[in-house]
């Protein structure tokens, strides 16, 4: 009895201990599962909306793979960069990737997509690729690709001593100067060819995709080899293959990218770009299993004698859109003024962080009041104008965290479905449609394409007029449209109806829906066929009759961007849209004859013209024209080119003078030329500055075309003036009188300050290879749009999709 009684507590204690252990084990398991589930859900949340059964790439890695810091052109492949390799074991994931990054010599940088790094320099880090020599044995095509690489002595001379020592220890420099990894347990082999009569298997492909060229190059998924061959004579990349259906690789499955497709496209880029190859994407891996890859990126480059001209990548047979291979540069760019550019990045962060703090989701910020600006052109509705307008600038600057904040808001919050307001068709197009289209071009994220189409569809009712000339305002809920009452008897405005073409044409091309192109082409035809007084385009046109309104002509307010889009539509088309270029040249010749004048002090200016009378007043808005004329001169050497360049330089100098002749070194809204004044505002309503970008835009374009240091110097003067007079503790404001030493601020941080002013300043101090002017145009809100047949990021819809949309 006593013995039995004494055993009872022991049994109870033992049972309790067992339960505790069991609960502990279960709890740890649940926590691990929950953590894993949360990691997966978090990564799925930030992933692109375009993810489907055949696309589960990590959004953050996609960000690095397609970052516009990597949207550089190879100008004769002229950069002799170092080539190197970093090993990466997938089982160790980020810890090993970071270790691999730190193990590299100073000239080699691992990708921030894997190491957690950020910023423009880190994200610019390029990649190398492993190539299977055995698979290419006897294949002349494999050797042919080597011709794009520098010779051994050139490459070795380009490495510092640390890099050379590292390569001697970790790789083998062969006769062509290419390092080969001595250990490659996790390396996936990639082979490539360029000959017209060969066929090669490209391994480490997440989708089992097929690249079609004259030689039919096939990509297929494969397990990594046990070692790397020692006789490879081409570039190589380190990568690992992962099966996303493997439970043990669950955390890995949300951390992979379509890198193999990128690298395959890159290695095939010469064929793709010269039109002898196209890209098509298949349906998936074996037995429906998706296989993906992850890689460590390191610094490299490959010179070539072949200038990359164009690349349209298409999909077929229901495949998902392939993202073009990256065009990369080294982390240290020769053309960058790093100190000044970093200052602009800090300005962007100051503007963004305060908008986020005091006006998140609203349209604009009032920095002095520390609250949203409800009096903007978009009213008090939560359209996030600053988010959509500024997001591509964040992306360009490498501000990934801030970019992701904006993308998440767009995904969760942005919609016009419940907005019952009369929105400006023009402003909504250039800021919202344009912004979304740029982000789609940069990233390939279908979220942005879908949002752009959603917005454009809300604008379409405004085009329902007898002539097809759209009204200025549209109610996005009801579709009711109207014009401004003040606009010359209910007329539409030239700059507004003429500033839809680039966005709508590009939207048609990426969606396969010709409707948007048809709408703006109708506008083009009306404006082409109507009689022009003295060859000039008045600012007002009646959408019902198709006749001109008030005889007021301007290259500033009410006219400006119509002329800009004539030139840029031609450029955007790959210089195929000759109708646009002819209309532009004819218009500029007439403007030069009737509206451009030289002041008594020798300053070139473009005056408004009202009823055949020059006003001798130039708007700040017209200061974009310096860059426009120069760009026109640079892109076509015809009988007008020299004069256009002369005008472009003259106008840009005049706009700088309008800044230099003020106390704040910021330009007025308008300035006049007379015996009493030169490049100076005379009326109080002309003396304000609202963070406008047009003068800086022309500095940027003229710098790119001439490399005259004065344009960067003038841009830096503007930075210093903005910091001195427009910066507040909570953002940036315009000022009410540029001629006062201590001007009053207007308490508005315009969304275009982030979209245009800071973007153009950033580009002004960047290398020319970042968004080169022959591969990108800038819409009138400074949102870059790719040039067709010259830019691998054009992302046109496949012909099959286009045909299907036309048949609907």
User: Which residues are tagged catalytic?
Assistant: 669
- What's 358's DSSP letter? H
- Decide: 388 and 414 in contact? Cβ < 8 Å: yes
The residues facing 71 across adjacent strands are 327
Cβ-based neighbours of 200, under 8 Å, separated by 6 or more: 135, 136, 139, 141, 142, 191, 192, 193, 217, 218
Q: How far apart are CA 404 and CA 402, in angstroms?
A: 5
- How is 234-255 classified by DSSP, letter by letter? S----EEEEETT-GGGHHHHTS
Residue 235, classified by CB atoms within 10 Å of its CB into exposed (0-12), middle (13-18) or buried (19+), is buried
- Decide: 242 and 249 in contact? Cβ < 8 Å: yes
Q: How far apart are CA 499 and CA 116, in angstroms?
A: 40
Which one, of 297, 431, 294, 338, lies nearest residue 756 by Cα?
431
Rg value, the chain, Cα: 29
User: What are the CA-CA distances from residue 645 to residues 168, 214, 616, 641 (Å)?
Assistant: 52, 43, 22, 6
- How is 636-652 classified by DSSP, letter by letter? --STTHHHHHHHHHHHH
The distance from CA 767 to its chain's CA centroid, rounded to whole angstroms, is 15
Using DSSP's 3-state secondary structure scheme, residue 25 falls into: helix
- How is 379-422 classified by DSSP, letter by letter? TTS---HHHHHHHHHHHHHT-HHHHHHHHHHHHHH--STT--SE
Which one, of 554, 497, 77, lies nearest residue 309 by Cα?
77
The sign of the torsion formed by the CA atoms of 261, 263, 266, 267 equals negative
- Decide: 421 and 475 in contact? Cβ < 8 Å: yes
- Decide: 620 and 694 in contact? Cβ < 8 Å: yes
- Decide: 652 and 627 in contact? Cβ < 8 Å: yes
Which one, of 701, 697, 636, 704, lies nearest residue 667 by Cα?
697
Q: How far apart are CA 665 and CA 658, in angstroms?
A: 8
- Decide: 681 and 670 in contact? Cβ < 8 Å: yes
């Amino acid at each position: 009895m006593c013995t039995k009684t004494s055993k009872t507590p022991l049994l109870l204690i033992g049972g309790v201990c067992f339960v505790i252990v069991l609960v502990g084990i279960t709890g740890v398991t649940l926590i691990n599962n929950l953590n894993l589930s949360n990691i997966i859900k978090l990564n799925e949340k930030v992933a692109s909306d375009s993810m489907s059964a055949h696309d589960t790439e990590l959004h953050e890695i996609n960000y690095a793979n397609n970052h516009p810091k990597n949207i550089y052109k190879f100008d004769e492949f002229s950069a002799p960069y170092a080539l190197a390799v970093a090993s990466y074991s997938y089982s160790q994931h980020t810890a090993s990737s970071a270790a691999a990054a730190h193990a590299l010599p100073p000239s080699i940088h691992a990708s921030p997509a894997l190491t957690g790094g950020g910023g423009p320099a880190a994200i610019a880090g390029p990649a190398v690729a492993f190539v299977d020599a055995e698979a290419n044995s006897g294949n002349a095509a494999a050797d042919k690709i080597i011709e794009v690489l520098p010779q051994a002595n050139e490459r070795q001379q380009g490495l510092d001593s640390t890099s050379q020592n590292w390569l001697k220890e970790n790789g083998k420099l062969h006769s062509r100067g290419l390092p080969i990894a001595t250990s490659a347990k996790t390396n996936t082999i990639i082979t490539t060819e360029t000959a017209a009569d060969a066929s090669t298997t490209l391994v480490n492909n997440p989708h089992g995709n097929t690249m079609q060229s004259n030689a039919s190059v096939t990509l297929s998924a494969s397990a990594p080899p046990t070692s790397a061959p020692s006789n490879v004579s081409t570039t190589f990349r380190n990568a690992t293959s992962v099966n996303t259906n493997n439970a043990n690789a669950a955390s890995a499955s949300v951390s992979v990218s379509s890198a193999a497709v990128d690298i395959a496209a890159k290695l095939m880029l010469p064929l793709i770009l010269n039109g002898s190859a196209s890209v098509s994407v298949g349906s998936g891996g074996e037995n429906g299993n998706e296989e993906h890859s992850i890689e460590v990126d390191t610094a490299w480059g490959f010179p070539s004698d072949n200038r990359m001209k164009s690349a349209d990548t298409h999909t077929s047979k229901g495949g998902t859109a392939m993202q073009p291979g990256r065009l990369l540069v080294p982390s240290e760019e020769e053309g960058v003024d790093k100190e000044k550019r970093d200052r602009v990045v800090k300005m962007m962060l100051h503007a963004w962080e305060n908008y986020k703090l005091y006006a998140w989701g609203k349209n604009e910020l009032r920095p002095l009041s520390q609250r949203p600006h409800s009096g903007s052109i978009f009213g008090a509705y939560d359209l996030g104008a600053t988010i959509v307008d500024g997001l591509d600038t964040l992306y360009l600057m490498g501000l990934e965290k801030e970019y992701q904040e904006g993308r998440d808001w767009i995904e969760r919050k942005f919609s016009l479905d419940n907005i019952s307001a009369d929105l400006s068709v023009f402003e909504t197009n250039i800021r919202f449609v344009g912004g979304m289209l740029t982000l789609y071009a940069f990233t390939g994220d279908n979220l942005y394409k879908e949002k752009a189409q959603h917005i454009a569809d809300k604008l379409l009712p405004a085009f329902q007029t007898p002539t097809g000339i759209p009204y200025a305002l549209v109610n996005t809920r009801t579709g009711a449209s109207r014009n401004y009452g003040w606009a010359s008897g209910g007329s539409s405005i030239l700059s507004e109806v003429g500033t839809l073409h680039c966005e709508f044409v590009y939207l048609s091309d990426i969606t396969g829906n010709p409707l948007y192109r048809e709408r703006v082409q109708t506008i083009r035809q009306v404006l082409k066929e109507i009689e022009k007084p003295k060859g000039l385009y008045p600012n007002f046109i009646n959408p019902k009759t198709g006749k001109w309104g008030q005889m007021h002509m301007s290259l500033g307010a009410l006219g400006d961007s119509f002329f800009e889009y004539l030139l840029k539509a031609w450029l955007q088309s790959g210089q195929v849209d000759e109708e646009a270029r002819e209309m532009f040249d004819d218009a500029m010749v007439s403007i030069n004859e009737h509206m451009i004048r030289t002041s008594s002090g020798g300053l070139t200016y473009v005056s408004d013209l009202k009823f055949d009378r020059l006003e001798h007043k130039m708007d700040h808005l017209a200061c974009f024209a310096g860059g426009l004329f120069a760009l026109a001169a640079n892109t076509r050497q015809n009988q007008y080119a020299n004069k256009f360049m002369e005008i472009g330089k003259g106008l840009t100098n005049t706009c700088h003078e309008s800044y230099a002749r003020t106390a704040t070194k910021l330009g007025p809204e308008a300035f006049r030329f007379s015996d009493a004044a030169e490049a100076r505002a005379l009326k109080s309503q002309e003396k304000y500055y609202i963070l406008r970008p047009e003068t800086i835009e022309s500095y940027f374009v003229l710098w790119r075309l001439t490399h005259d240091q004065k344009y960067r110097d003038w841009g830096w003067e503007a930075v210093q003036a903005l910091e001195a007079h427009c910066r507040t503790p909570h953002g940036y404001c315009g000022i009410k009188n540029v001629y006062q030493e201590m001007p009053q601020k207007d308490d508005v941080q315009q969304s275009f300050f982030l979209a245009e002013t800071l973007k153009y300043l950033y580009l002004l101090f960047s290398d020319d290879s970042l968004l080169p002017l022959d591969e990108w145009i800038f819409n009138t809100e400074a949102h870059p749009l790719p040039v067709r047949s010259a830019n691998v990021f054009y992302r046109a819809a496949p012909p099959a999709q286009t045909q299907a949309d036309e048949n609907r």
